[in-house]
Amino acid sequence: MVKLLAPWKRHRRRSWVIGVALFAMVPAFVSPPNSMPPEPEQELSRRQLLPLLGLACLPLSSTPCDAEAIWRSLPGESEDLAEAYPGRFVAYLTRFLLNFDTDFQNLWKSAKESEVSMGPLQSREFQRNARFARFSRTVQLSLSNFAPDKSKRLLEVLLKDYGNTTEAKRQSPGEKHTGAAPCPAGLRFSLLLMRLGPCPRICILFSLLQGPNQQPVSELRRLLRSVENASVSQVDVVDGGNFSLRDGAQVKEVMLELPTPPGLGGRPAKIYCQLKAVNATIGSTILCVDSVVVASKGSGYARDMDFTPKVLLPENLTMERAPNFTVQLTRPSRFPRERAKEALADELKSKMTNLLPPFVLPAYNAKLDRLVPDQSLPLTPDPTPPEEGRRLDEVFGSDRQVDRFRSDFVFAEFDSTYGPVGISPLERERQLYPSDYLRLMLSGALAGVVRTALFLPVQSVKVRMQTDQNLGRKGFIPALKEVVTTEPTGNLFRGIDVALTFSAIFGFFSFGVKEYLSRELVIQFPGLNELLAVILASIASVVITLIFATPWEVLTTKIMARSERFWGFSLLKDLLQESLPKAVSELYKEYWLLTSKELAFVTTKFLIFDSLREALLFFVPAFVEAQPLLIACFCGALAGACGAITSHPIDTIFALRTTGGGTEIPSLDKLFRGVGARVLIYSPGIALTFLVYDAAKTYFGVGGNALMQTLDLLRPS
């Protein structure tokens, strides 16, 4: 299964030769004294996402956003956020961003294009929901910038970034702001965007927050007034009032003036009151309002506004008692009430990027002192855990058991109407600097030393079994008993000095070179499979590392096999004093054989490790992401055992040739002598290496969580 890695777009020559570059790379791990890390580049740095299989796995090269501004470390726990911002709010905000944020749109398109059909193992519906769930989880973590009592700040950010104002940092598709004064056509377009674009959807979004004190009520009321765009449909007379008209004057109607429409570009309605005489006195006639005619309905009105009309009196007419009216409004394009909820729910379910129509606006409820959703809005109740399980059973029924099993490890909340919220967000790894690689190398050296120190007696018995025919015929446990009972216990630790030196050098260079090259290969060759990149990086790291480590492995084998010495450095001293050229030849003559052994081991290990991890990631992705170290130890133990078995014959030949046991290839049974001891070293030993390596990385500040960043579109300005 392919993992996609987004390239860093750096201006480097692609015609570099790996063999030369590997040597040139080593000094780069050490930063110059008092040097500061380089400034982050404007282009997107590489980001490693999880595999495909229904999860969002996206290249970022097409995203024209400032990477350092929107990718940052965010808290992973969100229990308080889940209570403050319910699942439907998070899901609808995700839909909103997928419509009005070009960066999010590009990521969504890339995810969709990268998806691979898994046939009967995964339905298209599950794949779509899983992709949306990862995006919604990313949005949920972005809400950590806004505590429940800071929803006003969230509203301000949404209006600033997506509200189609001249200060907006992102525009809707097709919109382009200029510094010039808008022409009438441009003004009309702005009004259309105001009423049909983001702002009505923002009102609908915040109406989904129904907890106490969750809404910035005053700000939302102002926004609702500006986008409601209602018109006057009817004016009813409650009290006709009294007017005094001088004798000789004739007034049959008066005009009513309503408050100025709060909506952007609103037009006042034209309303006329028909008057009738009710009494006559000396010098005047008493009139009252008989009926009201709406000549022009106007636009831009809102239900949440003062509709006390003002009577415009002509000359010769005096108002003795003000009339009283009720004003009824109508919104354009009202959704029909019949089956409204079902129709809107079906529309949302049909496509994960669909939004509710802009005219399904909320209303202000004075009793609750907050905005309440339109009655036609579909609202699924927040489920309890058992109800959540039953809901998943309904969506992924008995004919889709694999989807149902995986759903518990993909979805944290599942709203079948608005969309699910996932367990894992969109992540990438931050750019690493030389100081980071140096700390990774130190962590690798420490992990290697700890493993060698604990398994040194096992390694000593393994070498004795490979080079001593009497011990080789026995199993590992009998051989260990014989060595312990017939020889001093200290013989099990012979060569500990050179063995620890080898493990420190091997861990230092192999981990550092592999970490560096596995990233650089993907940067230089974006289409390269990540597993292949890791294997190539591991091969290169073995070739380079053994240039420095081979003499110490040769000395370790010689001391453990037949030497009466305890310390390996004394043997090295004697070899160098005897003849330097001869010593170099003897220490390096089995370099390629040792390289072959390590290459067979690492290739098998990574193939088995990646296959096991991909299988677990497919079936239980959330568990794999939540417990990466446990999964790495489990997969590493099995992969290490397989690698130890496949490379053991070469290890036996290396031990025999190093100790002068002959150049002929021994029989098959002799090639696998001591294989049990080697499996013991490289099965729990690999798991231990991962544990120590991870702990050391965390201590040095380069652990997995310290390097990972989450997409943060809702960052405060």
The answer to which of 300-314, 637-651, 660-674 has the lowest mean pLDDT is 660-674
Q: Are residues 562 and 444 in the same domain?
A: yes
Residue 23, domain member (yes or no)? no
Q: Could you write out the DSSP letters of every residue in 392-457?
A: HHHHS-TT-HHHHHHHTTTEEE--TTT--EESS--EEEPPP-HHHHHHHHHHHHHHHHHHHHHHHH
Q: Is pLDDT above 90 for 206?
A: yes
Q: Are the beta carbons of 425 and 713 closer than 8 angstroms?
A: no
DSSP state of 376: T
Q: Are residues 711 and 619 in the same domain?
A: no
Q: Which pTM was predicted?
A: 0.71
Residues whose CB falls within 8 Å of the CB of residue 509, separated by 6 or more in sequence, listed in order = 26, 441, 541, 544, 545, 548, 549
Instruction: Count the domains in the chain.
Output: 3
Q: Are residues 595 and 620 in the same domain?
A: yes
Interval 611-641: pLDDT, tens: 888 788 777 776 776 677 788 888 888 988 9
What pLDDT does 247 receive? 81
The answer to which of 57-66, 369-378, 399-408, 484-493 has the lowest mean pLDDT is 57-66
Question: What b-and-e string marks burial along 472-491, b requiring 16 or more CB atoms within 10 Å of the CB?
Answer: beeebeebbebbeeeeeeeb
Q: Are residues 667 and 714 in the same domain?
A: no
Residue where a domain stops, chosen among 296, 330, 364 = 330
Q: Is pLDDT above 70 for 198?
A: yes
Q: Is pLDDT above 80 for 716?
A: no
Q: Is pLDDT above 90 for 407?
A: no
Using a pLDDT cut of 70, give the percent of the chain over it.
81
Residue 260's pLDDT band (boundaries 50, 70, 90)?
confident
Residues whose CB falls within 8 Å of the CB of residue 578, separated by 6 or more in sequence, listed in order = none
**Looking at the DSSP assignment, which residues form a beta bridge with residue 327?**
235
What pLDDT does 434 receive? 92
Q: Are residues 391 and 414 in the same domain?
A: yes
Residue 32, domain member (yes or no)? no
Interval 268-284: pLDDT, tens: 899 999 999 888 777 78
Residue 8's pLDDT band (boundaries 50, 70, 90)?
very low
Q: Are residues 242 and 268 in the same domain?
A: yes
Residue where a domain stops, chosen among 330, 356, 387 = 330
Q: Are residues 279 and 145 in the same domain?
A: no
Residue 36, domain member (yes or no)? no
Residue 499's pLDDT band (boundaries 50, 70, 90)?
very high
Distance CA 220, CA 364 (A): 9
Q: Are residues 499 and 622 in the same domain?
A: yes
Best mean pLDDT range from 374-378, 562-566, 637-641, 663-667: 637-641
Mean pLDDT within 84-101: 90
What pLDDT does 289 receive? 92
Hey, what amino acid is at 713?
Answer: L
Distance CA 356, CA 377 (A): 8
Cα–Cα nearest to 520, from 46, 35, 115: 46
Interval 361-383: pLDDT, tens: 888 888 888 898 888 888 877 77
Residue 245, domain member (yes or no)? yes
Q: Which residue has the higher pLDDT, 304 or 42?
A: 304
Residue 2, domain member (yes or no)? no
Q: Are the beta carbons of 266 and 299 closer than 8 angstroms?
A: yes
Structural domain for 468, as ranges: 433-701
Q: Are residues 190 and 270 in the same domain?
A: no
A 10 A CB-CB count for 333 gives 10
Q: Are the beta carbons of 504 and 445 closer than 8 angstroms?
A: yes
Residue 365, domain member (yes or no)? yes
Q: Are residues 488 and 426 in the same domain?
A: no
Residue where a domain stops, chosen among 308, 330, 352 = 330
Q: Is pLDDT above 60 for 304?
A: yes
Q: Are residues 664 and 550 in the same domain?
A: yes
Residue 679's pLDDT band (boundaries 50, 70, 90)?
very high
DSSP state of 491: G
Q: Is pLDDT above 70 for 685?
A: yes
Q: What's the mean per-residue pLDDT of the chain?
A: 79
Q: Are residues 120 and 205 in the same domain?
A: yes
Residues whose CB falls within 8 Å of the CB of residue 103, separated by 6 or more in sequence, listed in order = 63, 64, 65, 70, 170, 713
Provide the CATH number for the domain around residue 576.
1.50.40.10
